[in-house]
Amino acid sequence: MRDPVVVATGQTYDRESIALWIESGHNTCPKTGQNLAHTSLIPNRALKNLISMWCREQKIPFELTETSHKSNGVSIPNKAAVEATRMTVSFLVNQLSGSQSTEAANGVVYELRALAKTNSDSRGFIAEAGAIPLLVRYLGSDVGSELPNLQVNAVTTILNLSILEANKTNVMETDGALNGIIEVLRSGATWEAKGNAAATIFSLSGVHSYRKRLGRKNRVIKGLVDLAQLGPNSSKRDALVAILTLASDRDTVGRLIEAGVVEIVAGVLDSLPEEAVTILEVVVKKGGLAAIAAVYNKIKKLAVLLREGSETSRESAAATLVTICRKGGSEMVAELAAMPGIERIIWELMGSGTVRARRKAATLLRILRRWAAGLDPSPILERPNTTVSGTSATTVM
């Protein structure tokens, strides 16, 4: 897995494989069978960093990972190495349990943080040794005020541990853990701490039941929206990715709209267009008329993305505009039609975008032409994948 990405259900796949799956016309998650609320692929940077680190340790060129594994038969860690890791974890957790000062605790937590980055065995051993309840002690605002690095190290260790599926349950079921993570998200001592708390929310929301549970907590919604508005770009991105995952639950979308997510996301369309426009796509798809009303004055920004955005953001912008025009009626279509050169922009996307972008662009063009002819634009149905040659659209069966 050279380029791990996360789909709408929270599952991680190799980008090349899942992109081929989606391009083939599938709109479900291969593992869970759930319908994908959106088809954006979110980079799983934490996992990619772990893969890269392991490759460096094993002296395997990262870009040749797959072929090297097949041809050289790299062995998995032997039993002695695994036991050594277990003993190291046990020692560190015992040290943490008996720490008499925050400075001493910080040194141990830093070591656990580094160890939790290395592999699944280490993450499992750390949780089994009882580290999570001990780490929760250092999430509070009092610790953040006294020793900000300790709070950062503690929440980041929990983030690294949560990558392991079984540990998500350990975190969610540990007394005070979720509240501690939310406290860091809302009032952490540093932006790094807040961003890593948001990344932890994203990781935990990979489990469907936890996603719904997290989405019901107003403190989570408010914390993520505030971070997306006020944080530096790196922290904003962590918040937006978490928001996107939570937004796949329809009930959560209403809370996000009430919290002002449309305005906040529109404010970062220029700096973080891919994440922002994908959230708008999901919100207008699941949020009903309230979402359409909230996004009304963002139509021009979306039209600009159709022309100037990346491949992914152009696709999401087209999908968002299709939903807005269908649900919002003639007033929304008129706003889009008033954009200078909009038909030419749509034609360009039909000729150069992804398969899905071309399909959405073709639908958008038909909506505009129905509106211009005085017909109701909402009944337009999408056709199968469409490509463009010259001035005529050809259906690919």
The pLDDT score that the predictor gives to residue 15 is: 86
Chain segment 358-376, per-residue pLDDT in tens = 999 999 999 999 998 887 7
More confident call, 375 vs 388: 375
pLDDT of residue 60: 67
Q: What is the pLDDT of residues 195-206, one digit of tens each?
A: 999 999 999 999
Instruction: Say if residue 70's pLDDT is above 60.
Output: no
CA dist 84 → 78, 79, 90, 157, 233 (Å): 10, 9, 10, 20, 39
CA distance linking residue 128 with residue 125, whole number of Å: 5
| Residues of the chain above pLDDT 90, percent | 51
Of 316 and 52, the structure prediction assigns the larger pLDDT to 316
Q: Select the more confidently predicted residue: 17 or 321.
A: 321
What Rg value do the Cα atoms of the chain yield, rounded? 23
Spatial contact of 276 and 310, defined as CB atoms under 8 Å apart = no
Tell me the one-letter amino acid at 250: R
380 — pLDDT class (breaks 50, 70, 90):
low
Exposed / middle / buried, residue 61 (Cβ in 10 Å: 0-12, 13-18, 19+): exposed
210-267, pLDDT tens digit by residue?
Answer: 999 999 999 999 999 999 999 999 999 999 999 999 998 988 999 999 999 998 998 8
Model confidence at 64, pLDDT cuts 50, 70, 90, reads very low
Side-chain-facing half-sphere of 209: CA atoms under 13 Å: 4
For the chain, the straight-line distance linking the first and the last C-alpha, in angstroms and rounded, comes to: 31
Per-residue model confidence (pLDDT) at position 356: 92
From 195, 203, 145, 198, select the one nearest 171 (Cα to Cα). 203
- Per-residue b or e along 268-277, where b marks 16 or more CB atoms closer than 10 Å to that residue's CB: bbeebbbbbb
Walk me through the domains of the chain, giving residue ranges and CATH numbers: 1-75 (3.30.40.10), 77-234 (1.25.10.10)
pTM of the predicted protein model = 0.75
Per-residue pLDDT at 378 exceeds 70: no
Tell me if residue 353 falls in helix, strand or coil: coil
pLDDT-based confidence at residue 118 (cuts at 50, 70, 90): confident
The two three-digit tokens of residue 31, written as one number:
């593992």
Contact indicator for 134, 173 with CB cutoff of 8 Å: no
The confidence score (pLDDT) of residue 393 equals: 33
pLDDT in tens, 308-348: 889 999 999 999 999 988 888 888 899 999 999 999 999 99
* CA 91 to the chain's CA centroid: 35
